[in-house]
Amino acid sequence: TRSLLRSPKGFPKLKNDTFLRAARGEETEHTPVWCMRQAGRYLPEFRETRAAQDFFATCRSPKLCCELTLQPLRRFPLDAAIIFSDILVVPQALGMEVVMVPGKGPTFTEPLKEVEDLLKLRQKVDVTAELGYVFQAITLTRHSLEGKVPLIGFSGAPWTLMSYMIEGGGSTTMAKAKSWLYRHPEASHRLLRLLADVITDYLVGQVAAGAQALQLFESHAGHLGPELFQEFALPYIRDIAQAVKSKLKEEALPLVPMIIFAKDAHYALRDLAHAGYEVVGLDWTIRPQEARAQIGKDVTLQGNLDPCALYAPKEKIGELVKKMLEGFGTQRYIANLGHGLYPDMSPEHVGAFVEAVHAHSRHINKH
């Protein structure tokens, strides 16, 4: 039965593969577009669906995850869906308790304080047992999408997860987590290796469940400088790409495109270009031309409109999108924001962003 569970067959035929073609570097008629956090609190229907539920209870309900993933696609002609979940389900799978505190965000009841605390973590994680609810959500959503657009799976990257596990929540400095890198380098590597192994199995399981692309979020890369990134983030980012690909081959699963998004890590773009990912995601703090020059022609770029640009009037959003497309070029490029959507953004302005990408890229391609 295991093999049946690993390869849900009979998915609907994909109708719009623009996002996947761009990710693989093939030519596209228009530039594909999706938004980080596109399933989110900026949609009234999202707030309604989520209202009665604890956040992580929602994450554990395949039916609700499917509904939340599909909501933005009912409104906007997006070129990809991303499964509704959270990066902190991985620390939960390692045995840590995380609760969502209103007004504060995700909070670990017992963060890692001492090196000895690593012993409390599960050293071997059966991802199907611990994270099977995500796999079920992916399979259900893939069927429910009816081939409309591809479905993206994702995970947090090791350093970003480690920083949450030690800080116990968000932090402006990441001083507790970074102090581990300086004071306990061996223990840090032990934790990062454990995370990388779980993330690898988790991502492979997502593809087995039906994910057609994968994004790795190194959201806290900006807290590291070039040296710390080189030692504690990049090697694991590389390993995950390599290990996921070799396991997908071994299990005769599709080799899906992988995206690395390391926020605020311009200092590492050249390294990220050679880390084994088909796509490098960019935040809004770098010029398109500079990113292209550093990354070269063999990797697709994704990003990088400042999310706050969506507060601008709609015409202005159109102008900013046009400028962005001229900077990146319409090929080997996936339009996105440089970070996730904020809860107080207007759905109409999100729609204006999506439409502007399609209209301007088609126009540029024609002329």
Query: Which positions are catalytic?
Result: 37, 41, 50, 86, 164
Q: What is the DSSP string of 100-142?
A: EETTTEEEESS---SGGGGGGS-SS--HHHHHHHHHHHHHHHH
CA gap 355, 358 in Å, rounded: 5
Q: Which of 295, 340, 335 is nearest to 318 (CA)?
A: 335
Using alpha carbons, list the distances in angstroms from residue 222 to 6, 7, 268, 272. Answer: 36, 37, 10, 14
Q: Do residues 90 and 161 make contact, with C-beta atoms less than 8 angstroms apart?
A: yes
**189: which DSSP letter?**
H
Asked if omega into 16 is within 30° of 0 (cis), the reply is: no
Name the pairing type of β-strands 98-101 and 105-108: antiparallel
Q: Do residues 271 and 224 make contact, with C-beta atoms less than 8 angstroms apart?
A: no
Residue with token string 């199907």:
128
Q: Which of 5, 16, 12, 22 is nearest to 330 (CA)?
A: 22
